[in-house]
Amino acid sequence: MSLGDLEAAARVLKPVAVRTPLLPADAISDHVGMPVRIKPEMLQRGGAFKFRGAYNFLSRMDPEVRKRGVIAPSSGNHAQAVALAAKLFGIPATVVMPTTVTPAKRGGAERLGARVVLAGKTTADRMSKAEELVEQEGLSMVPPYDHPWIIAGQGTVGLEIADDMPDVEAVLVPVGGGGFSAGLATAIKLRLPNARVIGVEPTGAAKLSRARAAGKPVKLDHTAGLADGLLAVEIGHLTFAHHQQYIDDVVLVDDEALCRAMRLLLDRMKLVVEPSGAITVAALMEGKFKPRGPTVAVLSGGNIEWDGLRELLGGG
C-alpha cells in the first residue's frame, strides 16, 4: 500500500468522518514519565474507527453493484460502521452478528437501519452466514479487515497522528483482525519512519503474537475475553504482511488491566471506552510497553451501554 492510497482515502473521508483530536493524558503521562496523548476514536461516527474503512470501501464500489445492497459479518463495530456508511449512500445493509453480541452494538446497527442476522459465536460462523446471504440475495460483502480499501480507510488515523504530532516516538494501536493496526502502522512508517508502532492484543486472543512467532498467520483454536472487538481467531493474511513490514512489537494485556484502564479513562478523562478501545492505555499503565519519548495511545471505540459499564466497573 502506498502513501497515495492512504491520502486518497483521507480525501474521500474528509467531508464525512470526524477528524478526532489528540488529547493530553496527564494521568497516564505522570504514570509512565513521558508525555502521552490519546486519539479518541470513540468520538468517530458510529462510535469507533471502523467507519473510516467502511465508508472508503463503499465509496470505491461500482454504483450499480452498490445499490443492490451490502452485507457485513461483524462482532459489532464493523456492523455499525457499514450500517452508517450504507445509510449515507442510501442503500440497504445487512449485518451478521454473533448470538453473544452486546445490546449496545446490536442496537446501534438497528438504529442505523441495518437488518441484523445472528449467527453462532465465531468469526467463521458469521462469515459462513454472510457468504450464504451473498449467494441468495446478490448482496456485496464488505470485509471487516483483510482488504486494501478497508486498510487504507483505517490508516487515515495514522496520517492524522503524523500531521498533529510529528515528534511522536511511539504509537500504540489495538490488534483484532489487523485492518486498523496494519493501516495505521503503514501510515505512520511512511510519514515518520523513525516512530515505533506497537500492537496491543488481549491475552485471550494472541493471534498476531502467534503469527509473528510462526512467520505466517496461525488460526487459534479458541479466543475469549472482554475485548470482544479483538477476538478474531486469525490475523488477516494481507494485514499480516503489513504488520511484518511496519509493526515494531506486540504486547499482551489481560482482562483485569482492561477494566482498570476503562475506569481510569472514565474517572480522570471523562471518556467512555469499551474494553477493546482501552487496551492501549492498559498496556501503558501496566508497564507492558515503556515509552522513550512522546507517545500516542489510540482508543479504538466506545460502543458499550450503561449496563455493560456498570457490570464491568461497578465493583471498583
Let me know the angle formed at the C-alpha of 176 by 15 and 244, rounded to the nearest 5 degrees.
Answer: 95
300 catalytically annotated: yes
Nearest of 142, 152, 146, 148 to residue 68 by alpha carbon: 142
Which DSSP string do the residues of 78-140 spell out, in sequence order?
HHHHHHHHHHHHT--EEEEE-TT--HHHHHHHHHTTPEEEE--SSHHHHHHHHHHHHHHH--E
Instruction: Answer for the pair 246, 6: CB distance below 8 angstroms, yes or no.
Output: no
50 catalytically annotated: yes
Give the C-alpha separation, 155 to 308, whole Å: 29
Q: Which three cell numbers stand for residue 260?
A: 482498570
Instruction: Answer for the pair 18, 44: CB distance below 8 angstroms, yes or no.
Output: yes
Q: Among the options 59, 75, 209, 300, which is catalytic? A: 300
Q: Among the options 39, 50, 189, 207, which is catalytic? A: 50
Give the C-alpha separation, 232 to 236, whole Å: 9
Instruction: Answer for the pair 249, 291: CB distance below 8 angstroms, yes or no.
Output: no
Catalytic residues: 50, 300
